[in-house]
């Protein structure tokens, strides 16, 4: 195997997986934990024999394990799978190992991540959807049970160090505060070291970072060269190095989960510029070029057809030159992001080679789902637009084209590139066509896998990863973990395929379900039920839309009319629906899906999406309308911050002003993609309400803030009703008070309906990216004495204002 810079790797001897012996420990007597003392205890040490509990030591020659989980990377994007995004480090693993071209995920991030780590189906884990939209049913509550242990927990007793960097997204959001509980954070699930972020995505320039069990600030700022991809690589190297210098023979398991290529597509501009002009021919040309490359490389079977042009995607040649320009740049930025991530991972690889461990490292790469369509039809400067149902503005995207990838946006590409990224398949993430759940997978282990650069076509699923790793390492699945009896693994090993391209498939049946979109694989056949339709356009023609709940009447119609059937032995890309001509097989497949659904907690079916964001869930803290914050504490995750959307609320800061130069942020939530900031600047009290980075509603006091003990207050009072369909929260009036005296007000025609940002709340400064970038550029810490900040959601804490009350009453008639 060759390093990215061409330096040959150090060779190591082939590892035998059988007949290993534990290294001798001279005359030391040891005994297993839980067994009787193996020595002798007499009246004195002279007539006694010492013995020691056996330390957890790996078998001699046990390999390291690296599982590299990419985010939102489609089947047709990486160069090793025929794509046009250059990833030389990943390519070398493919050239020195195996490409699995029939590997499957769940079609969504945290459900896939749970399955990868546990060897169980996502509904069995309570991860039918991402935890932020969990509901109160066993398959959907977002609370991963301890009877389904993680690979990290399984490897610890066998003498492994266990490290994780990057995206976790496996804790219930209400568990992610500094109040815990911490038992479902990485360190609570078998990882000894963790550095990354707990949620589903984060700003790559201003990430929400957790180090082990506590929040930390990023070590540098973007203007100093900071980017999360480089930071994660630094930490991975640090973790491996720290362990290696103290125990060189101890193997490690590294779970490496980058933010790439989930939005925001953030990358240093020079990496995006490497692709200038390379996507000017557009997404239709991309699909044709990549499809042919995949055929030529043997990634897809000979004769595989390219799926039809998606009805939700415009034909490239029909769009304007301005549109082509902005869309092409979006793809350049995305490609640069993936290539930069590959480069930074290359530094980790180089270090593992430097310590002589790369040949004996068992490596698996996977993406958690297909390419993402969350950028919408025209792409996005701010992915939060998608989560708030706010229409994108192509003209705005064009005006700010040079900002794409940089710290001032939270960008995502147009879904024409999503469809192209999943070539040769149709559709994308969140849907259970193959475009959503068939993903690139690479396996490499030079010391054990003799095949080089070969392709494996056996059907497999990410629930097979844990059984495969354990099988390869010669480790039996544990019966108990920390006293908890373990449920059986639901995947099967594919280790028998490593050196045998003709080995049979061990995984015969697999169900899929995501937001009511369903499918089933069984022995070469695939049935798909695309709820609410095979495309947004076709669903709209039926009067349906994505995110529509499923009731009994709707379900009856779905079962009768929506199922499709494909013979994958002849139709790899799902292009010929056989439902009408092979009804008996379809009925058999539908029956199997319902049987699998019953086995794995898939029911009840629920097509709702954004509606689930506002489902009430039990929290660690008792339900309350009053929140008190103090400066200097850890950031409060956005999921635990007060839900101030579409309701009256007040923010009161109790401060002491010692001199005329006091300034800074009292409290802030969110960042440049949306949020609010309450601060003092130029001796005036200010409040900025950031509507998704598009509109800034600012109110400044008409008097200076006085010295002494002062009460500074902001009131938000709705003046109308929200229009969620148009992506608009309630119109409102914002008012400033100093010691109960009205000193400023602003009318806001619309506010954020659902979510500001994935950035949290900070008191005494503005952490992360800046909510009010026109007013301050750093975190703008408050320089006076800030005693406390109180947020009240009860609606009873408002200072009476007859004029506003009258406007509200009239608006609600």
* Residue 735, SS3 per DSSP: strand
pLDDT for position 798: 63
pLDDT for position 280: 98
Q: Could you give the angle at which helices 228-246 and 321-354 cross, rounded to 10 degrees? A: 10
pLDDT one-digit tens code per residue, 206-262: 999 999 999 999 999 999 999 999 999 999 999 999 999 999 999 999 999 999 999
Rounded to 5°, the CA angle 404-407-409 comes to: 50
Cα–Cα distance for residue pair 286/393, rounded to 1 Å: 25
Specify the DSSP class assigned to residue 723.
Answer: B
pLDDT for position 800: 55
Residue 174: which of 643, 492, 702 has the closest Cα?
643
Residues of the chain with pLDDT under 50: 1-25, 801-813
**Torsion angle, alpha carbons of 191, 136, 762, 632, to 10:** -60
pLDDT for position 545: 83
Question: What size, in residues, is the chain?
Answer: 813
Specify the DSSP class assigned to residue 687.
Answer: E
HEC assignment per residue over 489-520: CCCCCCHHHCCCCCCCCCCCEEEEEECCEEEE
* Residue 116, SS3 per DSSP: helix
pLDDT for position 799: 59
Q: Could you give the angle at which helices 282-297 and 321-354 cross, rounded to 10 degrees? A: 40
Rounded to 5°, the CA angle 375-381-382 comes to: 75
Residue 572: which of 766, 298, 385 has the closest Cα?
298
* Residue 750, SS3 per DSSP: coil
pLDDT for position 12: 33
Q: How many CB atoms lie within 10 A of CB 27?
A: 5
pLDDT one-digit tens code per residue, 592-612: 999 999 999 999 999 988 777
pLDDT for position 189: 98
pLDDT for position 181: 93
Show the DSSP H helices in 578-667 as ranges.
583-599
């Amino acid at each position: 195997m060759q390093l990215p810079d061409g330096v040959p790797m150090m060779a190591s001897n082939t590892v035998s997986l059988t007949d290993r012996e534990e290294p001798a420990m001279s005359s030391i007597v040891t005994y297993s934990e839980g067994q009787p003392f193996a020595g002798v205890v007499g009246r004195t040490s002279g007539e006694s024999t010492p013995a020691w509990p056996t330390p957890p030591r790996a078998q001699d020659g046990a390999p390291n394990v690296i599982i590299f989980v990419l985010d939102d990377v489609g089947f047709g994007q990486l160069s090793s799978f025929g794509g046009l995004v250059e990833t030389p480090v990943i390519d070398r693993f493919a050239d020195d190992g195996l490409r699995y071209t029939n590997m499957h995920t769940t079609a969504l991030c945290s459900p896939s991540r749970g399955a990868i780590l546990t060897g169980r189906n996502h509904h069995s884990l309570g991860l039918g959807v991402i935890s932020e939209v969990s509901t109160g049913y066993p398959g959907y509550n977002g609370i991963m049970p301890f009877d389904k242990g993680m690979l990290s927990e399984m490897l610890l007793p066998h003498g492994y160090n266990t490290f994780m960097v990057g995206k976790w997204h496996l804790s219930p959001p209400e568990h992610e505060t500094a109040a815990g509980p911490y038992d479902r954070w990485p360190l609570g699930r078998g990882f000894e070291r963790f550095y990354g972020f707990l949620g589903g995505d984060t700003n790559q320039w201003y990430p929400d970072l957790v180090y082990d069990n506590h929040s930390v600030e990023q070590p540098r700022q973007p203007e100093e060269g900071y980017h999360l991809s480089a930071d994660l690589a630094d930490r991975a190297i640090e973790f491996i190095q720290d362990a290696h210098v103290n125990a060189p023979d101890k193997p490690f398991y590294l779970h490496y989960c980058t933010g790439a290529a989930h939005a925001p597509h953030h990358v240093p501009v020079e990496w995006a510029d490497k692709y200038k002009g390379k996507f000017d021919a557009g997404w239709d040309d991309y699909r044709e070029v990549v499809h042919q490359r995949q055929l030529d490389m043997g990634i897809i079977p000979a004769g595989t057809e390219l799926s039809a042009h998606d009805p939700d995607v415009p034909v490239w040649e029909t769009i304007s030159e301005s549109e082509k320009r902005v869309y092409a740049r979006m793809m350049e930025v995305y490609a640069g992001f993936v290539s930069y991530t590959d480069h930074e991972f290359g530094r980790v690889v180089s270090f593992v080679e430097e310590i002589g461990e790369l040949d004996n490292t068992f490596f698996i790469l996977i993406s958690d789902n297909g390419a993402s369509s969350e950028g919408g039809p025209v792409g996005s400067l701010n992915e939060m637009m998608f989560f708030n149902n706010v229409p994108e503005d192509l003209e705005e995207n064009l005006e700010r084209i040079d900002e794409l990838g940089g710290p001032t946006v939270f960008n995502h590409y147009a879904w024409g590139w999503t469809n192209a990224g999943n070539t040769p398949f149709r559709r994308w993430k969140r849907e259970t066509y193959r475009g959503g759940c068939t993903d690139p997978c690479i396996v490499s282990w030079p010391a054990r896998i003799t095949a080089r650069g070969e392709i494996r076509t056996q059907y497999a699923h990410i629930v097979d990863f844990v059984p495969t790793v354990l099988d390869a390492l010669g480790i039996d699945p544990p019966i108990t973990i920390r006293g908890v009896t373990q449920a059986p693994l639901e995947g099967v090993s594919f280790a028998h395929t490593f050196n045998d391209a003709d080995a049979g498939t061990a995984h015969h049946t697999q169900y899929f379900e995501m937001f009511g979109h369903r499918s089933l694989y069984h022995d070469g056949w695939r049935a798909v039920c695309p709820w609410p339709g095979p495309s947004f356009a076709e669903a709209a023609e039926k009067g349906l839309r994505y995110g529509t709940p499923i009731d009994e009447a709707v379900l009856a119609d779905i079962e009768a009319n929506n199922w499709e059937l494909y013979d994958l032995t002849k139709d790899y890309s799902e292009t010929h629906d056989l439902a009408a001509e092979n009804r008996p097989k379809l009925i058999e497949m539908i029956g199997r899906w319902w049987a699998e659904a019953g086995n794995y907690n898939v029911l009840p079916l629920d097509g709702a999406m954004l509606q689930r964001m506002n489902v009430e869930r039990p929290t660690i803290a008792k339900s309350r309308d009053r929140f008190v914050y103090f400066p200097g504490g850890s950031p409060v995750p956005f999921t635990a911050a007060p839900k101030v959307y579409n309701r009256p609320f007040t923010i009161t800061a109790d401060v002491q002003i010692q001199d005329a130069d006091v300034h800074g942020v009292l409290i802030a939530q969110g960042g440049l993609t949306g949020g609010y900031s309450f601060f003092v600047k130029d001796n005036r009290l200010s409040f900025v309400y950031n509507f998704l980075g598009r509109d800034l509603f600012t109110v400044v006091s008409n008097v200076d803030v006085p010295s002494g003990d002062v009460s500074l207050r902001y009131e938000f009072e709705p003046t109308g009703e929200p229009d969620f369909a148009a992506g608009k929260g309630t119109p409102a009036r914002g008012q400033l008070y100093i010691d109960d005296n009205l000193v400023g007000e602003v009318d806001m025609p619309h506010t954020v309906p659902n979510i500001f940002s994935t950035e949290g709340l900070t008191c005494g400064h503005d952490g992360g990216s800046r909510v009010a970038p026109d007013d301050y550029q750093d975190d703008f810490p408050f320089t006076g004495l800030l005693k406390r900040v109180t947020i009240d959601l009860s609606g009873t804490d408002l200072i009476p204002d007859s004029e506003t009350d009258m406007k509200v009453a009239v608006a609600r008639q």
